[in-house]
Amino acid sequence: MFSKPTDDSLAHANLLSLQRTVKLLVTALAALLLAGGTKVSAKTPELTEAQLSARLADPQSGLRDFVALVEKSMIGGEMWPVEELVDQRAILNRATDGVQMPGAATIKEMFADSTQQAWQQNGVTRDFAGSNFRFLRIRTFKNRAGLLFRSAGDNSSLNFFSFVINEVAPRTFRITDIYTIGLNEYTSETLRRTYIHLAASLQGGDAQDASGGKDTFADSLEAMTSISQDLKAGKWREVLDACSALPPAIQNDRTVLLIRLEAAENYSITSRSAVLEDWLKANPDEMELPLKFVDHYLTQDRWDDAERVVTRLLERTGGDARLMLQLGNIDYRRERDKRLLQAAASRN
């Protein structure tokens, strides 16, 4: 366990270890996007639905050009033009604000530096690049308005992302957070969990978020570092075994479950089913991981369950042609199964 830091100094070895862990966890979690932190007050003004609508309606505002640039870059597989539009500091401020601990300023700055180094290597928007990335509409999620895009990959992958926008100057816009429908959370929320876990480790498990809740993840941080390394190396069986050896209190932590799911999806359908069943025990609402559950139900021929989740996705996104197509496909396959069962029954 790391020694307890002070405002003036932190042990050099602890900082190096924490930096390494931050990079590993940020990289590991970033891979899950094409897969709820505490509410804090954002310091960067975000455009409301009304403001976004007004700017989209005004050709002189530059927001249409912004949308066109995002689509062109992502479809062409060039994420860097969009990366330059991401306000990384705004995302990190939202992720780290309100965590109470000694040495908070030092740890926050180090966390931000390590995260930005990971982003520099991998990119915040890497998972969108090369997909059919299309703007759909303005949409509000968790009381934050944004520009909703659909990402559809060649391998039939599908996800939706809402970009929260700030106007830093006339005709100049920046992305201050990204909401991923497949994970039902913002990038800042994903980072916030990691930040609280790491801060708690430095505090002997005593770091608290703005709500005063204590972290239970800290004692297994070294094990999670090793698990993240194995995940990055594609050692799926090792990741699953290591996660099952973690203390029961954190096996159903959201971060652990996401890492388990990434490994299980690459290992076997049986393993994936087991993780998703554990997920539902910890998070009964399927909409916390909707796209994964749609695929899970489809592979099990659970047509009614798949239809229920897709219908809720249609409501959440405000409508989408690909989701409607998926509903039609589900209905066709369900009716096909009924006909096969009826034919089999008639022969008997």
The ranges assigned to domains in the chain are: 12-189, 285-348
C-alpha distances (whole Å) from 129 to each of 73, 79, 82, 244 are 7, 6, 10, 33
Distance CA 161, CA 209 (A): 26
* pLDDT, tens only, 299-336: 999 999 999 999 999 999 999 999 999 999 999 999 99
Question: What is the chain's Cα-based Rg?
Answer: 22
* pLDDT, tens only, 274-302: 999 999 999 999 999 999 999 999 999 99
Please name the amino acid found at residue 307: E
Tokens matching residue 280: 């539902």
Q: How many CA atoms lie within 13 A of 188 on its CB side?
A: 28
Tokens matching residue 302: 């659970």
* pLDDT, tens only, 179-214: 999 999 999 999 998 888 777 776 654 445 444 445
Distance CA 11, CA 279 (A): 37
At residue 29 the predicted structure's pLDDT band, cuts being 50, 70 and 90, is low
Share of the chain above pLDDT 90, in %: 57
Tokens matching residue 183: 């994970």
Share of the chain above pLDDT 70, in %: 81
- Reported pTM: 0.83
pLDDT beyond 70 at 40: no
Phi, psi of 32 (to 5 degrees): -90, -5
Give the other-Cβ count within 10 Å of 190's Cβ. Answer: 26
Please name the amino acid found at residue 51: Q
Mean pLDDT check: name the lowest of 10-19, 135-144, 159-168. Answer: 10-19
